[in-house]
Amino acid sequence: MKLNEIYEWKTKGLFSVSAEDAAHELARIAERHGGILTPRAVVDESRPKDAPLHSVFEWDDELAAEKYREEQARWLIRNIVIKYPDRDEEEKTIRAYVHVVDKEQSVYVETKKAMEVDYLRKQVIEQARRDMEAFIRRYEAYEEFAGLIAAIKDYLKQMRHE
């Protein structure tokens, strides 16, 4: 790690340790494991109660197993798609369900329903905008994507003016 680097969490409030402390511990773990990080190494190194990242993990096996099953269910829901044959083009595929907040609860609803209900549609569009901005941040340093990045930026600018 370089002295002028500042670490912060992309999503704030999820972890009980600072991003700076986590980054230092991850660097230590990577160094101990030949310069690479694996989830297994991070979990193993965090098992001792005095480990810097111990509090980040759920150590109650019964509760952790239930949370893991819920994560598997999320993966299942997010990975079901619907194919729509198109006569002139390749088949179009959309996710069967999208993640939204409905009645102050985080849920998945059928994509078709979300696009028909105004406040849900706005959430889907807003998430798409955030995804495009994340794509720009992730890939704008690569010259191979310069044209695509420029097109996305133009599209986002148009979205703001509509």
Residues 6+ away with beta carbon under 8 Å from 86: 92
The neighbour count for residue 5, using CB atoms within 10 Å, is 8
Give the pLDDT confidence score for residue 130 in this predicted structure: 94
Give the pLDDT confidence score for residue 161 in this predicted structure: 82
Nearest to 1 by CA among 24, 19, 21, 17: 24
Q: Look-up: residue for tokens 């660097």?
A: 27
Q: What percent of the chain has pLDDT over 90?
A: 77
pLDDT in tens, 31-73: 999 999 999 999 999 999 999 999 999 999 999 999 999 999 9
**Residue 162 C-alpha from the chain's centroid:** 27
Give the pLDDT confidence score for residue 4 in this predicted structure: 67
Give the pLDDT confidence score for residue 155 in this predicted structure: 94
pLDDT in tens, 137-154: 999 999 999 999 999 999
Report how far residue 25's alpha carbon sits from residue 32's, in angstroms, rounded to the nearest whole number: 11
Give the pLDDT confidence score for residue 2 in this predicted structure: 52
Report how far residue 3's alpha carbon sits from residue 31's, in angstroms, rounded to the nearest whole number: 17
Its pTM surpasses 0.75: no
